[in-house]
Chains A and B, each alone.
Chain A
Amino acid sequence: MKKYLGSCAVVALMLATTGTAAARDQIQIAGSSTVLPYASIVAEAFGENFEHPTPVVESGGSGAGRKKLCEGVGENTIDIANSSSRIKQSDIDNCKANGVNEIQEVRIGYDGIVFASDINGPAFKFTPADWHAALAAKVVKDGQLVDNPNKNWSDVRSDLPEQPILAFIPGTKHGTREVFDEKVLLAGCEENGTMEALKAANNGDEDAAEEACMDLRTDGVSVDIDGDYTETLSRIDANKNAIGVFGLSFYQNNTDKLQVATMSDVEPSVDTIASGEYPVSRPLYFYVKNAHLDVIPGLQEYVEFFVSDEMAGPDGPLAQYGLVSDPELAKTQEAVKNRTPMGPLN
């Protein structure tokens, strides 16, 4: 009997605490694994300098984060979604359907995407056209549209090293892949004239030609990596001929193992990306649920702290870790202070 009473008490206690625990006092964040390191740096500094607890930062992907953000309003939904690509109209519709009407879009800076190979291999100087010619399914050879015959980088352009083509590129579930497709493959396709040939082959249909530009060859030369950059790094470690796609901050942490390739003769760095000289970069965002701003303690402070000059400015810890500081940060700070909700997507 005593035992029975005891277990009853435990159950009752647990039920009782459910009520008190509902008042959440820490910020909940989810989303992009690219933004995660920056968000955790800010969360850590926030916990150290403010009276509020350290926010909890989940990863899981930009899309998953935005979906969670749009699940509804309330303490058992997240407050902020980190995203390495811009929110989509479908997300906004989903938010509206669930009663999440006002969201703020906060651009925290830019992320550079770099191409790097083993430190002891030859140095590479790429152009987007080289990448398209190396990886696309169809290329133009002697005026004809043919299946990609290139085996070595030197087949692509004679002054590239004579090294077999092997590329580890982010898998389609990564936001990085979109940038790679758009800023490298598509740009290269236009640059080396394949676009024109594809357009002709598709009877002038531009969309179909763009799609065909981003078709990759399937003979094992381009390998999709669905894991993270650590996987790409260990694959390069095992296969020294390969070239991998990384985020700038990851490369900066591993400069003793990787050498970076230039793109159109520009070496990727925080400066060249900020100035726009280095072409392959993308903005990083987070999205805040405005309805939570006055409910979750510290949320407004966190958002302001994230975009403050101390954190996201050119000399702040985020820039030191590889985030390219946004030149229009002051505008963002202003918008965040006024809690300006985002307008319709343009």
Chain B
Amino acid sequence: MTDMAVETTGKATMAGDARTRKRHAAERRFRLMGQLAVAIGVLALLGLLASILSNGLSSFRQTYITLEIYLDPGVLDKQGTRDPADIAKITTFGYAPLIKGSLVKVMQDRGVGGEADADMAVALISKEAPAILRNYVLADPSQIGETVEFNLLASGRIDGYYKGRVSMASAELDRNTSPEQLRFADELKEAGILVTRFNWDFFTAPDASDTRPEAAGLGVAILGSAYMMLIVLVLSLPIGVAASIYLEEFAPRNRFTDLIEVNIANLAAVPSIVFGILGLAVFINIVGLPQSAPVVGGLVLTLMTLPTIIIATRAALKAVPPSIRDAALGVGASRMQSVFHHVLPLAMPGILTGTIIGLAQALGETAPLLLIGMVAFVRDYPAAPPEGFFDPASALPVQVYNWTQRGDPAFVERASGAIIVLLVFLLVMNLVAVILRRRFERRW
């Protein structure tokens, strides 16, 4: 139809001359390139997300085995005194036979696992189990002699079997499991002793050593990251905002302030490992703060975040029109009053957005933590703040880094799971930043 129109109504108005067509073609090409660029970006993101989700989502589920275990007084308290000091002498190695005995009993009672021997059966259960039993008994020695039901983790390979990571064929070649063991696990599953369910421990449990990937969790890392973010927020927001207000509203414009401005912009681009080196030299070696502690991590990340916050805050202050300041000054307000009563509240959404983006950046940072001893195997939870700031802790990105280096393939799943948790935190923070901006930002 349009073709017809072009032909009948003449070329001059509808088809355009050669230059117009050329310009239109250029625009079409540009649009196409733009769409292509977006498509490449989206594809890369989707690929990344797909690989992380496919590897990591399974870490939110975990296989457990419910066992009734007889807490044999003959093993745990030979003197029969129920004295906690005596009971504490029995190490976790002493508790392992109890679990074995309980499993053998299950096998006999239910007539399952005919081809499985006791050693193979006990390998179904996480090596963490004796520690759980020991803690239970130490907490309440009166339970010795009772039969108690425990919810124990299944070992990493069995868990992997129900998540599709381990198959009968791979188990044949695997020296850490065997097809017989997997068949036994299947029988336990049918009997309802073995279940796979949501894995809260992944968020609360501490890290675990290489022999028990099934027990590894993010508890210490999340706490460590939270402590550090708290320190970063408490220190960098007031310092950053004060510095920006002074530079933007009060400082004279001269060479010196220009120099400061250039340096702040420069600092924002400095590689983060440099701040780690500084942290090691200043906070640990000179000030004498402890290693691996969130307080040092927080201070280092504060230094790293400050330039981001200052730049964002100055931009937000600049965006407030001068007429607001003039009006305030005109009715007799002091400069400080004009800033704190009028300019700052109007700039607040921009400042908060900048702060949150700075925090999100700090949350994902590993390199500066490497040098101050936070890239470490930490199993004890830090205490409540403020003492906890000085206890050793790990951090979320550090946990990802550590888990990717472990030999057991089950840690690949854990690492991807940790990435998902980190991504969710970042997403929430960025979302809050966007919402704050949308809701409170005023356009002039």
Contact = CB atoms under 8 A, between A and B. Distances in A.
B171 interface: yes
Question: Counting chain B CB atoms within 10 Å of each CB, which of A44, A75, A321 scores highest?
Answer: A44
Given A18-B289, A253-B407, A256-B171, A44 B379 contact: yes
Contacts of A43: 209, 377, 379
Contacts of A10: 234
A145 interface: no
A162 B408 CA distance: 31
Contacts of A230: 404-407
A321 B211 contact: yes
B98 interface: no
A78 interface: yes
A41 interface: yes
Contacts of A202: none
A30 interface: yes
Contact of A17 (B288, B389, B405): B389
Given A10-B234, A57-B377, A58-B292, A17 B408 contact: no
Given A48-B131, A76-B284, A58 B373 contact: yes
Nearest to B376: A58
B174 A256 contact: yes
A36 B377 contact: yes
Interface in A188-210: none
- Determine the main DSSP class of B at the interface with A: loop
B55 to A, nearest CB: 12
Contacts of A75: 290
Given A22-B290, A56-B292, A56-B376, A255 B91 contact: no
Interface string A34-56: 00110111011101110101101
Contacts, number: 127
A341 interface: no
B91 A14 contact: no
A26 B375 CA distance: 16
Contact of A57 (B134, B288, B376): B376
Question: Counting chain A CB atoms within 10 Å of each CB, which of B92, B134, B209, B373 scores highest?
Answer: B209
A21 interface: yes
B210 A40 contact: yes
B92 A54 contact: no
Contacts of B170: 256
A229 B290 contact: no
B173 A119 contact: yes
B176 interface: yes
B408 A253 contact: yes
Nearest to B130: A48
A254 B407 contact: yes
Contacts of A117: none
A152 interface: no
Question: Counting chain B CB atoms within 10 Å of each CB, which of A7, A78, A119, A253 scores highest?
Answer: A253
B375 to A, nearest CB: 6
B91 A49 contact: yes
B405 A26 contact: no
A83 interface: no
A94 interface: no
B224 to A, nearest CB: 12
Interface in B379-393: 379-380, 386-387, 389-392
A126 interface: no
A59 interface: yes
Contact of A21 (B238, B290, B380): B290
A321 to B, nearest CB: 6
Interface string A93-105: 0000000000000
A228 B405 contact: yes
A249 B407 contact: yes
B387 A14 contact: no
Contacts of B414: none
A240 interface: no
Interface in B117-133: 127, 131
Nearest to A318: B211
B409 A254 contact: yes
B93 interface: yes
B232 to A, nearest CB: 14
B209 A60 contact: no
Interface in A149-180: none
Interface in A127-141: none
Nearest to B405: A228
Interface string A59-78: 11000000000000001101
A154 B378 CA distance: 48
A28 B210 contact: no
A317 B127 contact: yes
A10 B389 CA distance: 13
A228 B210 CA distance: 15
Contacts of B135: 48
Contact of A44 (B208, B375, B389): B208
B367 interface: no
Contacts of B171: 256
Interface in B173-224: 173-176, 208-212
B352 interface: no
Contacts of B408: 253
B357 interface: no
A33 interface: yes
Nearest to B210: A37
B229 interface: no
Contacts of A30: 373, 376
A252 B392 contact: no
Contact of B373 (A28, A41, A45): A28
Contacts of B293: 21
Nearest to A45: B92
Contacts of B295: 14
Interface of B: 88, 91-93, 127, 131, 134-135, 166, 170-171, 173-176, 208-212, 234, 238, 284-285, 288-293, 295, 370, 373, 375-380, 386-387, 389-392, 404-409
29 contacts: A10-B234, A17-B387, A18-B289, A21-B293, A28-B292, A28-B373, A37-B407, A40-B209, A44-B208, A45-B92, A47-B379, A47-B380, A49-B92, A57-B376, A58-B292, A58-B375, A58-B376, A58-B377, A59-B375, A76-B291, A230-B405, A247-B407, A249-B407, A255-B175, A256-B173, A257-B409, A317-B127, A317-B211, A321-B211
Interface of A: 7, 10, 13-14, 17-18, 20-22, 24, 26, 28, 30, 33, 36-37, 39-41, 43-45, 47-49, 51, 53-54, 56-60, 75-76, 78, 119, 228-230, 247, 249-250, 252-257, 310, 317, 320-321
Closest 6 pairs (CB-CB, A-B): A21-B390, A54-B379, A256-B170, A58-B376, A57-B377, A37-B210
